Chain A
Amino acid sequence: MAEWCRSCGGESTGDEVCGDCGVPLDPPAPGGERTVRGVLRRRSAPRLGGAPLGARRAAAIDLIAQGRPLPAELDLTDHEIAWYRAHAAVNGGDLTAALDQMAKLPETGYAARVGLLLSVFPALLATRDCWPAAVAVLAPFVSGSDDAAAMVAVLGRTTPDVVDVARRYAGRSFGEGRRARALTAYERAVTGEADSVPGDLVPLLAPALLDRLAVAGVLSDLPDGLPEPAATSLRCRLGLATAEQTAEAGFAAEAARRAYLTGEAPGDRLGDGPDVRHYRALHDYVTTRRLREEDLRPGAREVIRLTDAVTIGFAGRRSVPDEVAADPTTWPRLWPNAAQGKLYPADGVAQRHPRFVLWLELCTAYPALRGGLWPEALRIAGRVGEAAQDPALRAEARNVAAYAYWQLGRVDDALRELGEAKGAGFAVNAMLVASSRNAAAALPHLAQIMRLAEDDQLREAAVRRVIEHDEPSATLVAIIRAALDLTVDDDLHQQLLALSFRHDRAWLATAPLPARRRDDRYFQALAAYEEEPSTAGLGEIAAALADLWRRPGRPAWVETETRRLTAGLAGLPETVDALRAVETLAQAGMLSLADRIRYRAFAGARQIATAEWSPRLGRPLPGEAALARAVDEYWQRSGELEADVLATVEESLAEDVRWAALTIGNTAIRFWNAFDKRMATLAQSAGRTWEENQPNEAARRQLVKDLEAHVDRSERLLRLTDGLTVDPQFRKDMRAFHDKARTTIPYLRRRTV
């Protein structure tokens, strides 16, 4: 705009005076600060009105910029002043104030406001509160100004023709913004020009558009952050939901497909729509070979009919048409006939479906393998392997070659061929080939099977092979560790634990086994006990074993382990206290009557001999109670024991009791022998007064009580020997000591009162 009327905001007509309001078009005089200073300093207010219009306008602009009041003598219209204020506010960064002033302008005047707002558009865009006011002041100019139309389209949010405005203003393609790219990518994917939408653009697409992409088959993953129920719906469309979710969400066709793929006929709850009927018919055909063409979808009907014709048994040879060759899912069904050389490609199929022809050629290697024609099989496999672009077919060709090499005794060549293929089946073959050399050579391949197998049964079969190996090696250890993570049956798991115990005890002792089972606890306790230094006691082992023992239908190995554990008790070093383990086994009912008596007595006597006892404890050792229980049980139930068992039990019991009585008796005698000396020592340290001597007196009384407790304990133990085959002289000597002590103790007690 060259010139325009600042007084009314009208556009210039090219004259010196506004055609609308008659005010001169003089622009504000240049000079800014100087102008206002000069005008205000030299002219009094009454004379200000006589100043040139340009100077007054300049003065108004400067006064507004300085925040000073405007004298009425400036004689400018309110619109003009509002315009200058709006301009100043924009320059000062106050968009709210600027838009307030612009709202005071005549609706269609002051078109320069569009340029003024365009100059600060980024700031305006960042100030969402200002958008409605900005749209209001720009709206009158939309038809005459592309800038105004563009700003209103952006800030107005509801502009219906925003697409047209953008095409006029920014070009037809909408540029390289993310949404523009998302729109282009979506349109290309839906029309088949592209295979997918770039991952970074998918989140910009609405759920409805994602559904459309899923239907077009160009979306494979669920984008993050998609809200429900759109997420579940899309998951169902993509085949990522469970069968239940899919059926519940109403995707009957997908639910029927899922049922078919798992080998089941689609259930009644999915209804009887054409999609469900198609999958029922497909299931029938695959499982029973019954072809119900009327229920199959038209596209599938023809393929299946043609496939059936080359799948059934027939004499002579038949050609394979395009429809079958084009669908790789039909090929496995052709295999038996193809492997007999009964199929050949129909005219033109070789050119149109070269992959199928290579596959068919590889099938002709199987009769050669069956006939032992190894060079012929190698020749076919080599040709297919070289020509095939498809990794699956190339791997299968190498599999054929490996078999031929194996049969020729060229194990290394066979393993080389199999080494590059990825898949559990190839690993199984490599294991078989390697094991023909030696058993250990199969181990790495067994590890590979466990890693690659998608089928739990195959993985378990591999584990069963692993447990046949008992030669320690790092590979075996690694496999066992991995196998202990798997869900396998209890017997197999136990065998793995036993292997781990033999070859990897230190790891097993502390391994954080997932979903710890009862047998894990036993073998881990056993490993921890056997390690040096031992970090578990016999009691923990017995407790873990008792836990297994109580399990209904306990496996046979638990009884074997129990026998092993009890048999080992007698050979334990003297420092090992086995009493807790024996009591645990006894309480769980894991010991026979004879063993219970024998091991209780043994463990009790062992504890009595090794553990420190003091009268100040105020109670007997657990070993003494165990020994007494063993003797009691012997006298109460010895009639239940066979004669030969009874004899060995009696012999060992008598020995253990005698040993315990001797130990305790010796302890009591040693105390008796030291008694006088201790008394004498106390007497020497007696206090000089009665009061001072009280602690000494108490110590002497306690000493007598301790002697009495020793004698009581010795008498108690000696009584256990009653009726058992124990040396009479030993009993006589002990009784003599007890009698002497009993006679002396009252005297000693009186002396200390």
Chain B
Amino acid sequence: MERRNPYLILGIPFGTGRAGANAAFARRVKSLPADPAQARAWQTDLTWALQRIDAGPAAPEAEMGYYRMPADPGCGAPGEPGVFAPPPEPGPYDEAAVAAALVRLRAEAAREALRRELSRRSAQTPPPAP
């Protein structure tokens, strides 16, 4: 089992595509250590990592060979809506229809209240004398 992690070596989140891996490789190669031996070792690691990502499945979701960091595709961020994951767009609503429906609901609630109150008072009201 390969314990080295190409994503970790390149400093990119698990699931980054090949383009992202190439960009990370280019960035990292520019900042190699000054010590030539150390720089060579780093470059070997980076090259290995890039090759592994290139050789992996086209869809990173199917990759089973490397430890996933982050394990969650959202990079550990809470899965709430925002600019890049917008919530549903409900569209505009018909204000007149809403107003009319609200009037109806109020009237129904009023009638319901009246029914309850009338029933309550009825129970306390004997028939008047003839």
What residues of chain A have their CB less than 8 Å away from a CB belonging to chain B?
A: 1, 6, 27-28, 61, 83-84, 87-88, 90-91, 112, 115-116, 118-122, 125, 147, 150-151, 153-154, 162-163, 165-167, 169-171, 174-175, 177-180, 182-183, 186, 204-209, 211-212, 214-215, 217, 236-239, 251, 253-254, 256-257, 260-261, 275, 282, 286, 299-300, 303-304, 307, 313, 327-333, 335-336, 339-340, 355, 359, 362, 366-367, 369-370, 390, 392-393, 395-397, 399-400, 403, 406-407, 421, 423, 425-426, 428-429, 431-433, 435-436, 455, 457-458, 460-462, 465
Indicate if the CB atoms of A27 and B129 lie closer than 8 Å.
yes
In angstroms, Cα B101 to Cα A183, docked, is: 11
Q: Which residues on the A side are within 8 Å of B118 (C-beta)?
A: 118, 121, 125, 147, 150-151, 154
Task: Kindly identify which residue among A217, A238, A332, A395 contacts B71, using a CB–CB cutoff of 8 Å.
Answer: A395
Indicate if the CB atoms of A458 and B71 lie closer than 8 Å.
no
Count chain B CB atoms within 10 A of each CB in A254, A359, A396, A397 and give the residue with the most.
Answer: A396
Task: Kindly identify which residue among A115, A177, A366, A435 contacts B112, using a CB–CB cutoff of 8 Å.
Answer: A177
Q: Which residues on the A side are within 8 Å of B87 (C-beta)?
A: 217, 239
Indicate if the CB atoms of B77 and A336 lie closer than 8 Å.
no
Q: Which residues on the A side are within 8 Å of B37 (C-beta)?
A: none
Task: Kindly identify which residue among A88, A154, A253 contacts B115, using a CB–CB cutoff of 8 Å.
Answer: A154
Q: Which residues on the B side are within 8 Å of A462 (C-beta)?
A: 64
Count chain A CB atoms within 10 A of each CB in B27, B68, B79, B130 and give the residue with the most.
Answer: B130
What residues of chain B have their CB less than 8 Å away from a CB belonging to chain A?
A: 1, 3, 8-9, 11-14, 24, 27, 57, 59, 61-94, 97-98, 100-102, 104-119, 121-122, 125-130
Give min CB distance, B14 to chain A, whole Å: 8
In angstroms, Cα B46 to Cα A370, docked, is: 12
Across the interface, name the chain A residue whose C-beta is closest to B104.
Answer: A206
Indicate if the CB atoms of A182 and B116 lie closer than 8 Å.
no
- Known A-B contacts A211-B98, A286-B84, A461-B64; the reply to A119 vs B126 at CB < 8 A is yes
Task: Kindly identify which residue among B9, B27, B89 contacts A313, using a CB–CB cutoff of 8 Å.
Answer: B27
Task: Kindly identify which residue among B67, B78, B117 contacts A328, using a CB–CB cutoff of 8 Å.
Answer: B78
- Known A-B contacts A115-B128, A403-B67; the reply to A335 vs B109 at CB < 8 A is no
Indicate if the CB atoms of A400 and B69 lie closer than 8 Å.
yes
Indicate if the CB atoms of B69 and A392 lie closer than 8 Å.
no
Indicate if the CB atoms of A455 and B91 lie closer than 8 Å.
no
Give min CB distance, A10 to chain B, whole Å: 16
Give min CB distance, A236 to chain B, whole Å: 7
Q: Which residues on the A side are within 8 Å of B61 (C-beta)?
A: 455, 457-458
Q: Which residues on the A side are within 8 Å of B74 (C-beta)?
A: 328, 331-332, 392
Q: Which residues on the A side are within 8 Å of B24 (C-beta)?
A: 336
Indicate if the CB atoms of B113 and A175 lie closer than 8 Å.
yes
Count chain A CB atoms within 10 A of each CB in B88, B116, B126 and give the residue with the most.
Answer: B88
Indicate if the CB atoms of A237 and B90 lie closer than 8 Å.
yes
Tally of A-B Cβ pairs under 8 angstroms: 297
The 5 closest A-B pairs by CB, nearest first: A396-B76, A239-B88, A329-B82, A166-B110, A425-B71
In angstroms, Cα B106 to Cα A163, docked, is: 7
Indicate if the CB atoms of B84 and A330 lie closer than 8 Å.
yes
Indicate if the CB atoms of B72 and A423 lie closer than 8 Å.
yes
Indicate if the CB atoms of B84 and A395 lie closer than 8 Å.
no
Indicate if the CB atoms of B83 and A147 lie closer than 8 Å.
no
Q: Which residues on the A side are within 8 Å of B91 (C-beta)?
A: 215, 236-237, 251, 253-254
Across the interface, name the chain B residue whose C-beta is closest to A355.
Answer: B78
Interface of A is mostly: helix
- Known A-B contacts A340-B11, A399-B70, A403-B69; the reply to A183 vs B76 at CB < 8 A is no
Indicate if the CB atoms of A237 and B64 lie closer than 8 Å.
no
Q: Which residues on the B side are within 8 Å of A186 (C-beta)?
A: 102, 105
In angstroms, Cα B109 to Cα A457, docked, is: 53
Indicate if the CB atoms of A407 and B3 lie closer than 8 Å.
yes
Across the interface, name the chain A residue whose C-beta is closest to B102.
Answer: A209
Indicate if the CB atoms of A362 and B72 lie closer than 8 Å.
no
Q: Which residues on the B side are within 8 Å of A87 (C-beta)?
A: 127, 130
Q: Which residues on the A side are within 8 Å of B117 (C-beta)?
A: 150, 169-170, 175
Task: Kindly identify which residue among B89, B110, B119 contacts A253, using a CB–CB cutoff of 8 Å.
Answer: B89
Indicate if the CB atoms of A177 and B116 lie closer than 8 Å.
yes
Q: Which residues on the B side are within 8 Å of A333 (C-beta)?
A: 84
Q: Which residues on the A side are within 8 Å of B90 (C-beta)?
A: 211, 214-215, 217, 237-238, 254
Task: Kindly identify which residue among B12, B83, B104, B128 contacts A336, using a CB–CB cutoff of 8 Å.
Answer: B12
Q: Which residues on the A side are within 8 Å of B115 (C-beta)?
A: 125, 154
Count chain A CB atoms within 10 A of each CB in B74, B100, B110 and give the residue with the most.
Answer: B110
Indicate if the CB atoms of A115 and B125 lie closer than 8 Å.
yes
Indicate if the CB atoms of A112 and B128 lie closer than 8 Å.
yes
Q: Which residues on the A side are within 8 Å of B78 (C-beta)?
A: 328, 355, 390, 392-393
In angstroms, Cα B67 to Cα A396, docked, is: 12
Indicate if the CB atoms of B122 and A118 lie closer than 8 Å.
yes
Task: Kindly identify which residue among A154, A206, A217 contacts B111, using a CB–CB cutoff of 8 Å.
Answer: A154
Give min CB distance, B27 to chain A, whole Å: 6
Across the interface, name the chain B residue whose C-beta is closest to A167.
Answer: B110
Indicate if the CB atoms of B114 and A154 lie closer than 8 Å.
yes
Across the interface, name the chain B residue whose C-beta is closest to A249.
Answer: B91
Across the interface, name the chain B residue whose C-beta is closest to A396.
Answer: B76
Task: Kindly identify which residue among B62, B77, B97, B106 contacts A183, using a CB–CB cutoff of 8 Å.
Answer: B106
Q: Which residues on the A side are within 8 Å of B130 (C-beta)?
A: 6, 28, 61, 83-84, 87-88
In angstroms, Cα B102 to Cα A591, docked, is: 79
Give min CB distance, B47 to chain A, whole Å: 16
Q: Which residues on the A side are within 8 Å of B105 (C-beta)?
A: 179, 182-183, 186, 204-206, 209
- Known A-B contacts A119-B122, A211-B94, A399-B71; the reply to A165 vs B114 at CB < 8 A is yes
In angstroms, Cα B127 to Cα A83, docked, is: 13
Q: Which residues on the A side are within 8 Å of B93 (C-beta)?
A: 208, 211-212, 215
